[in-house]
């Protein structure tokens, strides 16, 4: 029996798919390279922007003919998109050939649902769930091993769907993380460990006793072995000096930080609920540059947030110019149902968003060209 997994979204989802693969292999399935050969096809979806969801609808729709050819084929849709009740229902209604739709909190029961499909289509969305330490991983990222250190997000940036589909922040026990990494090092094939969380800087605040992210970093670096350590994503509001010092002082930690700014304008940052100002952000950047020379810095930006004026967009443009990132991702604001920003007045027309995103990306290209020359 063979499985094929299609993954959308962030690194955390890529890692989640390694968990899905682990569960399927435990059930006796093996991986295959083509959808046509599969007995089960799993979509691990993302809800961050409308485009991501549209692609899922398109690609699931395309499976109709496969299902016609192979009546026993099981099609499962999981992940952030299906955590939303309405979207899950829409998937079920639009595609009668989809067998299983699960939210993000019941992955550990995938095996049960595959068995249950014999009796009919399955849909389940739970409200919250704990991190399951027992689930096996089938690692697929070569020399890099992803290690989840927390799930969920408490920040509720007003544009973002993640807190709604991934629940509140929950940190893993430090001992469990250290044990996992020890085992990875012992396997001998991983040269790089990448810690994952939506906001790694707030790691451990919910543990009793609390553990700081900097402590976790130092403790991992104390482990014997030849590996480099990196992490994502850092939220500027929680990036403390002790974390910057850890990156600077620990040889094992990669000199790299992804520090999404989202906007360079204070009014927009406030509306986004990011809890820092342009000045504070630049202060952090200067501190990083001073303490960690040659540190690579990357960022994410959203253009066309509701009510963003041309001048306010220029503030973002100037920030990108000033920081000279190693690279940036620029996204057009996409209203997500249920978020605060989606209900704000002053939504920006698509063509203006297009114009702004192109302008920002052109700048990024130009700066990169100059830097490469240098």
**Which residues form the interface with ligand SF4 (CB under 6 A)?**
153, 155-157, 160, 162-163, 198-199, 235
Select from 272, 267, 276 the least CA-distant residue to 312.
267
Residues 279-308 that bind ligand SAH (CB under 6 A): 300, 302
User: Which of the choices ligand SAH, ligand F3S, ligand SF4, none does residue 46 contact, using the CB cut-off of 5 to 8 A by kind?
Assistant: ligand F3S
Which residue shows structure tokens 């990357």? 298
Nearer to ligand F3S, 10 or 27 (CB): 10
Residues 119-178 that bind ligand SAH (CB under 6 A): 159-160
Select from 244, 266, 261 the least CA-distant residue to 253.
244
Q: What count of residues does the chain have? A: 374
Rounded Cα–Cα distance for residues 354 and 374 (Å): 30
Quickly list H helices, 255-338: 266-271, 278-291, 310-323
Q: How far is CA 92 from CA 86, 99, 193, 336, in A?
A: 10, 8, 38, 20
Select from 48, 170, 41 the least CA-distant residue to 117.
41
Nearer to ligand F3S, 145 or 161 (CB): 161
CB of 81 to ligand SF4, least distance (A): 15
Rounded Cα–Cα distance for residues 115 and 27 (Å): 10
Of all residues in the shown chain, the one whose CB is closest to ligand F3S is 9
Using CB under 6 A as the binding rule, whether residue 331 contacts ligand SAH is answered as: yes
**Helices H / strands E in the chain, number of each:** 13, 14
Nearer to ligand F3S, 23 or 46 (CB): 46
Enumerate binding residues for ligand F3S (CB under 6 A). Answer: 9-10, 12-13, 46-48, 80, 161-162, 165-166
Quickly list H helices, 167-309: 174-187, 213-221, 241-249, 266-271, 278-291
User: Which of the choices ligand SAH, ligand F3S, ligand SF4, none does residue 244 contact, using the CB cut-off of 5 to 8 A by kind?
Assistant: none
User: Which of the choices ligand SAH, ligand SF4, ligand F3S, none does residue 9 contact, using the CB cut-off of 5 to 8 A by kind?
Assistant: ligand F3S
Stretch that binds ligand SAH, among 173-181, 319-327, 333-341, 363-371 (CB under 6 A): 333-341
User: Which of the choices ligand SAH, ligand SF4, ligand F3S, none does residue 282 contact, using the CB cut-off of 5 to 8 A by kind?
Assistant: none
Which residue shows structure tokens 């408490």? 154
Contact letters (x/-) for ligand SAH, 219-258, by CB under 6 A? --------------x-x-----------------------
End-to-end CA distance of the chain: 53
Residues 178-207 that bind ligand SAH (CB under 6 A): 198-199
Which residue shows structure tokens 């509720």? 156
Say what angle helices 213-221 and 241-249 make with each other, to 10 degrees: 10
User: Which of the choices ligand SAH, ligand F3S, ligand SF4, none does residue 323 contact, using the CB cut-off of 5 to 8 A by kind?
Assistant: none
Residues near ligand SAH (CB under 6 A) are 48-49, 159-160, 198-199, 233, 235, 260, 262, 300, 302, 331, 333-334, 336
């Amino acid at each position: 029996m063979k499985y094929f997994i299609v993954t959308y979204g962030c690194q955390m989802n890529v890692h989640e798919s390694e968990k899905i693969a682990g569960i399927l292999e435990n059930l006796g399935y093996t991986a295959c390279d083509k959808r046509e050969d599969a007995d089960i096809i799993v979509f691990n979806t993302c809800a961050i922007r409308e485009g991501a969801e549209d692609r899922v609808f398109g690609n699931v729709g395309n499976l109709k003919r496969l299902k016609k050819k192979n009546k026993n084929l099981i099609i499962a849709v999981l992940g952030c998109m299906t955590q939303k009740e309405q979207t899950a229902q829409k998937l079920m209604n639009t595609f009668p050939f989809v067998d299983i739709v699960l939210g993000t909190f019941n992955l550990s029961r995938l095996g049960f649902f595959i068995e249950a499909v014999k009796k009919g289509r399955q849909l389940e969305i739970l409200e919250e769930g704990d991190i399951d330490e027992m689930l096996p991983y089938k690692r697929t990222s070569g020399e890099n091993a992803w290690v989840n250190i927390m799930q969920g997000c408490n920040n509720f940036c007003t544009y973002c769907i993640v807190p709604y589909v991934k629940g509140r922040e929950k940190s893993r026990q430090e001992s469990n993380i250290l044990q996992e990494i020890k085992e990875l090092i012992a396997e001998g094939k991983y040269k790089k460990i990448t810690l994952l969380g939506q906001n790694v800087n707030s790691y451990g605040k919910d543990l009793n006793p609390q553990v700081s992210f900097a402590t976790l970093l130092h403790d991992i670096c104390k482990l014997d072995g030849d590996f480099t350590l990196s992490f994502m994503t850092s939220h500027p509001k929680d990036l403390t000096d002790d974390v910057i010092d850890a990156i600077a002082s620990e040889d094992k930690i990669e000199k790299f930080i992804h520090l999404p700014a989202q906007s360079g304008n204070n009014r927009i940052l406030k509306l986004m609920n990011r809890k820092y100002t342009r000045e504070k952000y630049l202060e952090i950047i200067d501190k990083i540059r001073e303490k960690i020379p040659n540190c690579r810095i990357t960022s994410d930006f959203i253009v066309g947030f509701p009510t963003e004026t041309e001048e306010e967009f220029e503030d973002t443009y100037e920030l990108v110019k000033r920081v000279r990132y190693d690279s940036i991702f620029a996204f057009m604001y996409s209203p997500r149902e249920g978020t605060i920003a989606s209900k704000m007045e002053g939504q920006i027309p698509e063509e203006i968003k297009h114009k702004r995103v192109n302008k920002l990306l052109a700048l990024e290209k130009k700066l990169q060209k100059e830097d490469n020359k240098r």
